[in-house]
Amino acid sequence: MRPNSLLHVVSIILIVISVIGIVMGLMVSVLGGAVLGAAAESLGLGLAVGSVIGVFVIAGSVYNLVAGILGVKAKFTACKVLGIISLVCGCFSLISALFVVGSAASITTAIAGLVLPMLYVWGAFKGPAA
């Protein structure tokens, strides 16, 4: 089966963003921990915090990489499931931005973070191209 154009384009964007995210996650793990450690004057704590943040960034990026690859391969059932999971996570992020952080920048970022998952799910539910 061929992917429809929307799913194909969004999947390629997800793959590119995921590769960038994995590289950034590795950098946060190494460099971010050192910076946090220097700022907190306790290198051990900073490295631990930076490593944890980096692991979450890498895990999310790998998840999106898998979703992008499955979208390019036109695995519509898997894309629907992964897309809905991404939407749920995006909604949690938006709720967190609204009620916990509350800044305009975090709310805008959370809303922008819902755009790709919405397009991905829309493309997955459209089905194969004719």
Domain for residue 19, yes or no? Answer: yes
Question: How far separated are the first and last CA of the chain, in Å rounded?
Answer: 10
Residues 6+ apart with CB under 8 A from 86: 63, 64, 67, 116, 117, 120, 121
Span 18-71, pLDDT tens digits:
999 899 888 877 776 566 555 555 555 656 666 777 788 889 999 999 999 999
Dihedral (C-alpha) 104, 110, 116, 118: value to the nearest 10 degrees? Answer: -110
Q: What is the pLDDT of residue 20?
A: 93
Q: Is 109 helix (H, G, I), strand (E, B) or coil?
A: helix
Say if CB 61 and CB 25 are below 8 A apart.
Answer: yes
Q: Which two tokens stand for residue 14?
A: 């997800």
Domain for residue 12, yes or no? Answer: yes
Q: What is the pLDDT of residue 87?
A: 92
Q: How many CA atoms lie within 13 A of 130 on its CB side?
A: 1
Domain count, the chain: 1
Domain for residue 91, yes or no? Answer: yes
Which residue range is the domain that position 42 belongs to?
Answer: 5-125
Span 75-92, pLDDT tens digits:
999 999 999 999 998 888
Domain for residue 21, yes or no? Answer: yes
Domain for residue 130, yes or no? Answer: no
Burial class (CB in 10 A: 0-12, 13-18, 19+), 49: middle
pTM summary value = 0.80
- Tell me which residue has tokens 């959370």: 110
CA distance 11 to 119: 10
Domain for residue 63, yes or no? Answer: yes
